[in-house]
Chain A
Amino acid sequence: MSDWSSYRLQDFIPFTADIYFRLLERMGETFWPLHLLTLALGTAALLFALKNRARVACLLLAPPWAFIAVAFFMQRYAELNWAGGYIGWAFLAQALFLVLIALVRSAPLEPPQFTNPAVITGIAIALSGLVGLPLLAPPGGHSWYRAEIFGIHPDPTAIVTLGLALIALRGPAMWAASIIPTLWLLLSGLTHMALG
């Protein structure tokens, strides 16, 4: 048997599904009612993005990224997975990058148009992260604390950021702001696949 053919995705995930979902739940338990503030931040960021205030939207997104970097990845996920610390640094980098965009970028010449497919897609993605993902958790008899919330958990935060990038940013800034959220969502998807 060759070495590489013997590896499965599951072999790279050093914890079981119950441990990962309990981690999500712990975040919810520990930081409630911070959820209300982070959801308000996310909603405000979406509204500012739609009003062509991309710089304010980026500034509002930065604190949740920094919070998740420390509270989720460095303090908790890193206990389960050595890669957690590195992912935490990537989330911090994303927070700094959003601040940088807010500081140096001028607003687009035209406000987001609701007829623009990119804007419509961005709104749908942002709403799915803000509203859709939290509603996915409760079925199965689990606690509401397990609901994944923008600003508390990484997946909805990355999804909302991707949506806002599509709405409010154009050109290199949009692509650059999307790299880390996209990579995280890929990694998260693979993790969920491995956990079954």
Chain B
Amino acid sequence: MTDRNRRRTLKWIGAGIAAAWLPSGPALAEPGSLLSKPIPASGQKLPVIGMGTWRTFNVGSDPQLLGARSEVVRAFFRHGGGLIDSSPMYGSAPDVIGYALERLGIPASLFSAEKVWSPAGGTAREQVAELEKRWGVKRFDLVQVHNLTDWRDHLATLREMKAAGEIGYIGITTSHGRRHREFEQVMASEDIDFAQLTYNITHREAEQRLLPLAREKGIAVIANRPYDGGALIKGLKRRGEKVPEWAVEECGCRTWADFLLKFIVSHPAVNCAIPATTRVDHMNENMRAGSAPLPSASARRRMAAAIESL
């Protein structure tokens, strides 16, 4: 079966079964207290908690898991969520997002973020066109160059597409702290709207140069791996540590999700964190972390010190 046929089959098989138990709701968004920050390039507001899809949304054509992930997306939008980030590197994740959007409808708050990635094959234009079909959207709000692969060629193409109105914003990505020197050079020399990088309370290298540069250049920052691939929050929960009382009082951190995510999105340069989850209860927890109050600069220092002391 070709990739395209497989994707089409995936959508229809899953749709048939999940339609039986997934209520289709026209009004997904509920008024919430999710904070948002302006994208420097335009002033458009972006909710501070987005959604990643690496590993978690690569479920293939399994109807049961397609239905379960649709519920995760439903919870995301119910809280007013905006940015969903995926990549051609993430297996069937773009198809699964497309499946969920087809079932739930596309809310106005959706901020669709995709990537171009050379090993996926084809030109940047071809990849974007293919991914639009997989998501079932007419136009991506943001297209990023994944892990800087062939970034010169891809950025040139994406810039043309942006000028023609075919995509909204352009950006670059890295993760795990890789290639920061080159990433910084691209941020400094190229006209980009977004930079996606790893930033969390235990991986704060970006604070040294990349985040200040983003502020200086007016580049929006998406923080990936906010839980360090899940290890960070699982480790804290496993230890049975309670969130410090001062963090509850200072910035309303009721849970470790609050603590870890509020730390990230309270950095002045960071627009959005993109935790990934397979579970609705975790999605609810993540989204609640995007509400006020956010920690002050002094509280942020105390938060980092608290984690370092564990």
Which parts of B1-41 form the interface with A (CB within 8 Å)?
1, 6, 10
Q: Which residues of A have CB within 8 Å of B180?
A: 1
A79 touches B60 (CB 8 A): yes
B88 to chain A, nearest CB (A): 10
- In the complex, the answer to whether B56 meets A7 with C-beta atoms within 8 Å is no
CA distance A8 to B177 in the complex (A): 13
Q: Are A1 and B205 in contact (CB under 8 A)?
A: yes
Give the residue among B6, B65, B179, B205 with the most A Cβ atoms within 10 A: B65
The range of chain B's interface size is 20 to 34
Q: Does A35 touch B at the CB level, under 8 Å?
A: no
Contact status B177-A16, CB under 8 Å: no
Could you tell me if A3 and B60 are in contact, using CB atoms closer than 8 angstroms? no
- Expressed in whole angstroms, the minimum distance between the Cβ of B97 and any Cβ of chain A is 15
Q: Which residues of B contact A8 (CB under 8 A)?
A: 229
Nearest to A81 among chain B residues (CB) is: B91
A12 nearest CB across to chain B (Å): 11
> Which residues of chain A have C-beta atoms less than 8 A from B209's C-beta?
none
Given contacts A3-B178, A6-B178, A75-B1, contact A19 B205 (CB under 8 A): no
Which residues of A5-32 are within 8 A (CB) of B? 6-8, 10-11, 13-16, 18-19, 22-23, 26
> Using an 8 Å CB-CB cutoff, how does the interface string of A120-148 with B read, 1 for contact, 0 for none?
00000000000000000000000000000
Contact A6 B176 (CB under 8 A): yes
The smallest C-beta distance from A13 to any residue of chain B, in angstroms, reads 7
Q: Which residue of A lies closest to B56 (CB)?
A: A16
- B196 on interface, CB distance cutoff 8 Å: no
Q: Are A16 and B62 touching (Cβ within 8 A)? A: no
Q: Are B92 and A80 in contact (CB under 8 A)?
A: yes
Q: What is the bound-complex CA distance between A79 and B65, given in angstroms?
A: 13
Report the minimum CB–CB distance from A87 to chain B (whole Å). 15
Task: Assess whether B246 is interfacial by the CB under 8 Å rule.
Answer: no
Asked if residues A19 and B176 are in contact (CB atoms below 8 Å), the reply is: no
Task: Report yes or no: B179 in contact with A14, Cβ–Cβ below 8 A.
Answer: no
Cβ-closest chain A residue relative to B89: A14
C-alpha gap A194/B6 in the complex (Å): 27
By the criterion CB–CB under 8 Å, are A13 and B60 in contact? no
19 further interface pairs, Cβ-Cβ under 8 Å (given A14-B54, A14-B89): A1-B177, A1-B180, A6-B176, A6-B177, A6-B178, A8-B229, A13-B55, A14-B58, A15-B91, A16-B56, A18-B65, A19-B65, A23-B60, A23-B62, A26-B62, A79-B60, A79-B61, A80-B91, A80-B92
30 of the cross-chain contacts (CB-CB < 8 Å) are A1-B180, A3-B179, A6-B178, A7-B176, A10-B229, A11-B176, A13-B55, A14-B89, A14-B90, A15-B55, A15-B58, A15-B91, A16-B278, A18-B65, A19-B55, A19-B59, A19-B60, A19-B62, A19-B65, A19-B278, A22-B64, A23-B60, A26-B62, A75-B1, A76-B61, A79-B61, A79-B91, A80-B60, A80-B91, A82-B91
Binding site for B on A (CB under 8 A): 1, 3, 6-8, 10-11, 13-16, 18-19, 22-23, 26, 75-76, 79-82
Closest 9 CB pairs of A and B: A79-B60, A6-B176, A1-B177, A15-B58, A14-B91, A3-B178, A16-B55, A80-B60, A79-B92
